[in-house]
Amino acid sequence: MQSTVLVLLALLAVALAMRQQAIAVKGRLVCGAKPANNVRIKLWEEDSGPDPDDLLDQGYTDANGEFLLKGDTRELTNIDPVFKVYHDCDDGIMPGKRKVKFALPYSYVTAGKEPKKVFDIGVLNLETIFKKEEREMIPGKRKVKFALPYSYVTAGKEPKKVFDIGVLNLETIFKKEEREMIVSKKRRSPRHHHRHISAELAEESDFEY
């Protein structure tokens, strides 16, 4: 009984020691001379231990490339806020998005649920190749290919026979199955994709990680 009380008191002490901490960041993103509008941005609190990272806020830049994110969390120690940008600026037709992370100064972290200060990150040109830049890879859909018998190919513009492929259970792991890589709409080039494949990928490009 006594040990249970001691454990409860210890847990209570830890809970009371947890501090509510808040952070806010604002700025403007550009891609060269143009505003980087509708760019996905996130505000995280990174944890180095077994505790998972906390997503404090997320959103998209406005038509002028401007943004404001803010959030709060309870931690026993000082929080480590980071600002992440996921973008396609100057990226050609590369799969995934360029991912850039900026550590925010702890001097802008304030006590309570509402931040009392806002860190202005300034104007960032996303054409810049940032140090330790990463790439956000988003797995696409499973892709399966079936060869159709030539005996069902007929002369003329209209097919005279229809091949019935039957009932397929897509839970099956097919031989030589592939995975479709998702490419952003902005970076897709008709010179590199057939029309029907481009339409297929367009359905996936809004998927978010």
Q: Which residues contact residue 49 at a Cβ distance below 8 angstroms, ignoring those fewer than 6 apart? A: none
* Beta strands 119-125 and 19-31, pairing class: parallel
Return the closest-CA partner of residue 27 out of 120, 128, 130.
120
Confidence of residue 175 (pLDDT cuts 50, 70, 90): confident
Within 10 angstroms of residue 80's Cβ, the number of other Cβ atoms is: 17
Look at residue 136 in the predicted model and tell me its pLDDT.
81
pLDDT for the residue 7: 58
Q: What's the pTM?
A: 0.62
| Residue 188 pLDDT greater than 90, yes or no | no
* Residue among 130, 80, 138, 140 at smallest CA distance from 109: 80
Residue spans of the domains in the chain: they are 18-136, 139-202
Q: What is the pLDDT of residue 37?
A: 97
State the pLDDT at residue 192. 38
Which overall architecture, per CATH, does domain 18-136 show?
Sandwich (2.60)
Q: What is the pLDDT of residue 139?
A: 66
Length in residues, the chain: 209
Mean pLDDT of all residues in 102-114: 95
More confident residue, 198 or 145: 145
Confidence at residue 10, expressed as pLDDT on a 0 to 100 scale: 55
What pLDDT is recorded for position 13? Answer: 52
Question: Residue 133 pLDDT more than 80?
Answer: yes
At 18, is the pLDDT very low, low, confident or very high (cuts 50, 70, 90)? confident
Cα(123)–Cα(113) distance, rounded to whole angstroms? 27
- Going by C-beta distance under 8 Å and a sequence separation of 6 or more, which residues neighbour residue 3? none
Tell me the CA distances in angstroms from 143 to 136, 146, 172, 178, one per residue in order.
21, 10, 12, 5
Bin 112: left if φ > 0, else alpha if -120 < ψ < 50, else beta.
left
Query: What tens digit of pLDDT does each residue of 51-60 get?
Result: 678 899 999 9
Tokens of residue 2, six digits: 């006594």
> With bands split at pLDDT 50, 70 and 90, how would you rate the model's confidence at 193?
very low
Q: What is the DSSP letter of 15?
A: H
What residues contact 6, with CB distance under 8 A and at least 6 apart? none
Q: Which residue has the higher pLDDT, 160 or 182?
A: 160
Which residues are 190's β-sheet partners?
A: none
Question: pLDDT at position 2, please?
Answer: 67
Report which of 86, 16, 14 is spatially closest to residue 44, judged by C-alpha positions. 86
